[in-house]
Chain A
Amino acid sequence: MNRSLESYKINARMNLYVIQTKKFKTDLIGVYIKQPLNKHEASLNALLTRILMRGTVKYPSAKALNIQLESSYGMIMVSDVVKYGEHHILQFKLQFPNGKHLLENHIFNDALELVEEVIFHPLMEKDHFIEDYFQQEKDNLVDEIESRINDKMSYALERCIECMYDNRPYSEYVYGNVDRVKAITVDELTKHYHHILETAQFDICVMGDLNPDEVKASIQRLPVSHVESSDYHMMCDYNHVSEIRYFSESLNIKQGKLVLGYKTQICQNDPLYEASVLAYHIFGGGPNSRLFHELREEKGLCYYVFAKSDRFKGCMFIGAGIEDEHQVIVETSIHDSLQRLKEEGITKKELQMAVDEMFSSIASLSDFPNSFINFYYTELLGRPLDHYDIDDMLYKYQSITLDDIKAVYQKLELDTVYMLKGE
């Protein structure tokens, strides 16, 4: 495990994390801009991550920007917005070959300059984003939101979340909704951009074979002003379920997609948080899980089954692709399986295997630069930085008991059953 993480508070709104490693042939810069998720701003944030890639003062078109990336040994730059609980994080990532492999030592500064161009120096006309770019990206975002229906597996999960958190901020789709996108004006988007530049928290992760002092000196140049960021409160969902709600929708599909939404009452800072990660995994994650075994291997009812949770919101979802007419039997099987876990818990062997798997997956994260910096960022999100230690986290996993796992299952309350079926 790579533990050589240096963190620096550059100013009131900007943190820098440098992870030194020699093993990769590329370095990576990740900029995370923290925003709250809500109905009003979700589409604005999404649109912003797209229009900023359209042109900068120095590279006035997407083509000019792409040519610059291609000429620099195929640098890869991506931008998007990601939903973590009720956080809505704008992300900009740039991966570039390390200078030592190409005899070009200035490549880090070139890379940082590109990131700076994209985020801080977009092409503007009369102090507004370019009208043509704005219209094109608006149209594209509308298409993108409409096309989410193409991926039925994630569509069913998103619909279950929308039904479960009806009209509350967490129900918002990561790119907002079509009506909201259509209503955005160039003036509104430009104002939102300046608002973010002046108030948001910037976290910058840099990973590679780099000198932290030099990186720090370069990062200090970024024009993020030294004023406190406007913070907001994250809501973990501690409400109990009064009655289970059922939703069903029909589409032209051949396989039904069933999603069950549970309230967990357990968020990232809960003492049972680490136990919950293992508990969900044992229940429905991967080929060793109870549900994989019972639904697929024993009964042949499905090919895929998954468990997915949101540690910031306190919810967990079980999903499976099934025949429409098997909905009742699958629902009953999942219910019975959870009931057994609530009553009997798991075996010592199951716990040990899950702990081993967890350790292995945390250890192997350091083989993937992008997953690694995302992992750090989400671990630090909403926690005081100076209290975090990866060894503490590993220790917590090791100390989990069978009773902890059982306690997690006992807290699970089924809230919403969503079924997407054929017409």
Chain B
Amino acid sequence: MLLIDCPHCGPRSETEFSYGGEAHIARPLDPAALSDAEWADYVFLRDNPKGLIRERWMHAHGCRRWFNVARDTVTYEILTVYPMGAEPPDLPERRYP
């Protein structure tokens, strides 16, 4: 069980949140110009790292706000929480063998 530090409500249980998948995936500016493969890459393909991931969470049963979380997928450590639209904080990439 994760204890997620909501920027508005403070530390809350994971059960109050809903998950929004990987963060910082920009929608292509001109979708019509993309090939099917490039569009599929945008819509479906996501990183699945063993290490640091930046992901979106929403405090569904609290303040109902979205925010970003940088998390280690091996240790479940939450490294930092930062607002939507912010530049991702500079963190060392963690990769486990």
Note whether A and B form a binding pair: no
